[in-house]
A and B are shown apart, each in its own frame.
Chain A
Amino acid sequence: MKVGIVSYGTYIPIYRIKVEEIARVWGESAEAIKSGLGIYQKSVPDVDEDTATISVEAAREAVYRANIDPKDIGAIYVGSESHPYAVKPTATIVGEALGVGNDFFSADLEFACKAGTAGMQMCIGFVKSGMIRYGLAIGADTSQSKPGDALEYSAAAGGAAFVIGKDPIAVIEETYSFTSDTPDFWRRELQPYPSHGGRFTGLPAYFRHVTSAARGLMEKTGLNAQDFDYAVFHQPNAKFPVRVAKMLGFTNEQIKPGLLVPYIGNTYSGSSILGLAAILDVAKPGDRILLVSFGSGAGSDAFSIIVTDTIENFERNPSVWDKIEKGVFIDYGMYLKHRGKIRM
């Protein structure tokens, strides 16, 4: 039975702030940050946007493009580390706004930046078991960073939604996850900003989990890097995904269409799946795509995805890159107001 992505939708807030503008305020070298992180600018949500509004907009585009009755959606999972409520699921707001009705499986998921792909795996299981017809998996964030912290150059906002079902535009042929207890990044209850383990975020966290998940998936499927037309990895900055691609034997051409972080920053739960959406925007029938997410704490979900003929009649405009190019630049003062960091 062919189960996979029936449709997808994306949302990136229209505002952007440049690295130069943040560096100006904190007296740092923009050039050093740009060459260190490979990030030039990031997306910023409007004052009336949050993870729920981003989730609804991405999901509306996905449902519209799928041309399905929202009532046929049997599960909604929203993955985020910035749910608007500590207790009251974002998925309930999405279900109401989409007119899904009341009979659907649902929960909010939290696994740092990989909660969106975890939702995709749950939907695949539900559809394969025959319990639902379509599942909606969303990854969205409006990630916060302490003013002046290194994360301020990358913590961005955006999200993507995937309708999972049969007769897909892209079959998910296999998925594999790698998980361990690794304290690279965390946020305790009631704390407004996350903490991170500094250098600990690289080798034992990101690189170990992404390579282990990718290699585990390739072993399970008998595939190697040359068998994939595209690859997309979680993008906390531009350096990590480029380096991990090289470690796994992928070329820069394979990752280029999905490498969004230089222009929108790290959208956390939206990061790797917005990259996947950008690849699906240009992919042709028969193309094979590797997707590997990463969530601190830590874990990675890897997917092997094959594009089908159905994609040729699927609405893919406006594309993710169209949305990236739409940016309106704001200064640091406006940025603080947008992120609710000014106490009144």
Chain B
Amino acid sequence: MLPRFWRKIKYRYDLVGSYCENCQSFFYPPRNLCPHCRRRSKIKEVPFNGKGKVLSYTVVHDAPEEYKDEKPYVIALIELENGVKVLSQLVCDPKEVEIGMEVKKAFRKYGEDGASGIIYYGTKFVPASHF
């Protein structure tokens, strides 16, 4: 788990994705090759601004052991302002979430390898109305 997580840290800690200059498409997670342009891909790494809205969501009541203390929690399909869709935990009261709700990125803990292990951090989302 540790080396795999560490290699992707930049893309988990922030919404750093990729952009194809040839067809103006954004990708997250980032890609090395544009699926539309293939050999004509002109890929550049870019940070996204982290604002978006909820397209769909589900409330998880039956959580895996390591997320038991967060249940019930919301997993949402979020469309960012640049059109990229991401699936992420949306940290809020399940009663608060609705389709179309404006959200923004937040830096949160994903979990940890027990009390003496590494702590995993990354990007989640919160309602835009939470400062």
Query: Which residues does A use to contact B, with CB under 8 Å?
Result: 12, 14, 46-50, 52-53, 56-57, 60, 84-85, 93, 96-99, 318, 322-323, 326, 328, 337
* Segment from B6-14, B20-28, B33-41 that makes contact with A: B6-14
In the complex, are the beta carbons of A337 and B69 less than 8 A apart? yes
Q: Is B47 an interface residue (CB 8 A)?
A: yes
Q: Is B61 an interface residue (CB 8 A)?
A: no
Alpha-carbon gap, A189 to B98, bound state (A): 46
**Contact A48:B131 (CB < 8 A) given known A97-B14, A99-B14:** no
Q: Is B109 an interface residue (CB 8 A)?
A: yes
Q: Is B106 an interface residue (CB 8 A)?
A: yes
Q: Is B108 an interface residue (CB 8 A)?
A: yes
17 pairs, A vs B, C-beta closer than 8 Å? A14-B130, A14-B131, A46-B91, A46-B108, A48-B124, A49-B108, A50-B109, A52-B119, A52-B121, A53-B106, A53-B109, A57-B107, A96-B9, A97-B14, A97-B121, A99-B16, A322-B131
Query: Which residues does B use to contact A, with CB under 8 Å?
Result: 9-10, 13-14, 16, 47, 69-70, 91, 93, 106-110, 119, 121, 124, 130-131
Output the residue of A53, A97, A326 with the most chain B CB within 10 A. Answer: A97
Alpha-carbon gap, A322 to B16, bound state (A): 29
How many whole Å from A45's CB to the nearest CB in chain B? 10
Q: Which residues of B contact A60 (CB under 8 A)?
A: 107
In the complex, are the beta carbons of A48 and B108 less than 8 A apart? yes
Alpha-carbon gap, A326 to B129, bound state (A): 9
Q: Which residues of A contact B10 (CB under 8 A)?
A: 96, 99
**Contact A56:B91 (CB < 8 A) given known A84-B119, A96-B9, A322-B131:** no
Q: Which residue of A lies closest to B10 (CB)?
A: A96
How many whole Å from B20's CB to the nearest CB in chain A? 21
Q: Which residues of B contact A318 (CB under 8 A)?
A: 131
Alpha-carbon gap, A95 to B9, bound state (A): 12
How many whole Å from A271's CB to the nearest CB in chain B? 19
- Set B107, B119, B131: member contacting A97, Cβ < 8 A: B107
Closest CB pairs A-B (n = 3): A56-B107, A48-B109, A97-B13
Q: Which residues of A contact B108 (CB under 8 A)?
A: 46, 48-49, 53
How many whole Å from B86's CB to the nearest CB in chain A? 17
Alpha-carbon gap, A56 to B109, bound state (A): 12
Q: Which residue of A lies closest to B68 (CB)?
A: A344
How many whole Å from B115's CB to the nearest CB in chain A? 10
Known: A57-B106, A84-B119. 5 other contacts (CB 8 A): A49-B108, A56-B121, A96-B10, A322-B131, A323-B131
Output the residue of A12, A14, A328 with the most chain B CB within 10 A. Answer: A14
Q: Which residue of A lies closest to B126 (CB)?
A: A14
Q: Which residues of B contact A52 (CB under 8 A)?
A: 109, 119, 121
Alpha-carbon gap, A48 to B74, bound state (A): 14
Q: Which residues of B contact A326 (CB under 8 A)?
A: 130-131
Alpha-carbon gap, A97 to B109, bound state (A): 12
How many whole Å from B7's CB to the nearest CB in chain A? 13
In the complex, are the beta carbons of B109 and A49 less than 8 A apart? yes
How many whole Å from B14's CB to the nearest CB in chain A? 6
Alpha-carbon gap, A97 to B10, bound state (A): 7
How many whole Å from A80's CB to the nearest CB in chain B? 15
In the complex, are the beta carbons of B91 and A48 less than 8 A apart? yes
Q: Which residue of B lies closest to A10 (CB)?
A: B131
Q: Which residues of B contact A322 (CB under 8 A)?
A: 131
- Set A12, A47, A53, A57: member contacting B70, Cβ < 8 A: A47
Q: Which residue of B lies closest to A70 (CB)?
A: B47
Q: Which residues of A contact B14 (CB under 8 A)?
A: 97-99
- Set A12, A53, A84, A85: member contacting B107, Cβ < 8 A: A53
Q: Which residues of B contact A48 (CB under 8 A)?
A: 70, 91, 108-110, 124
Q: Which residues of A contact B109 (CB under 8 A)?
A: 48-50, 52-53
In the complex, are the beta carbons of A47 and B69 less than 8 A apart? yes
Q: Which residue of B lies closest to A318 (CB)?
A: B131
In the complex, are the beta carbons of B119 and A85 less than 8 A apart? yes
Alpha-carbon gap, A328 to B130, bound state (A): 10
Q: Which residues of B contact A98 (CB under 8 A)?
A: 14
Q: Which residues of B contact A12 (CB under 8 A)?
A: 131
**Contact A93:B121 (CB < 8 A) given known A46-B91, A49-B109:** yes
How many whole Å from A87's CB to the nearest CB in chain B? 11
Q: Which residues of A contact B130 (CB under 8 A)?
A: 14, 326
Alpha-carbon gap, A47 to B47, bound state (A): 27
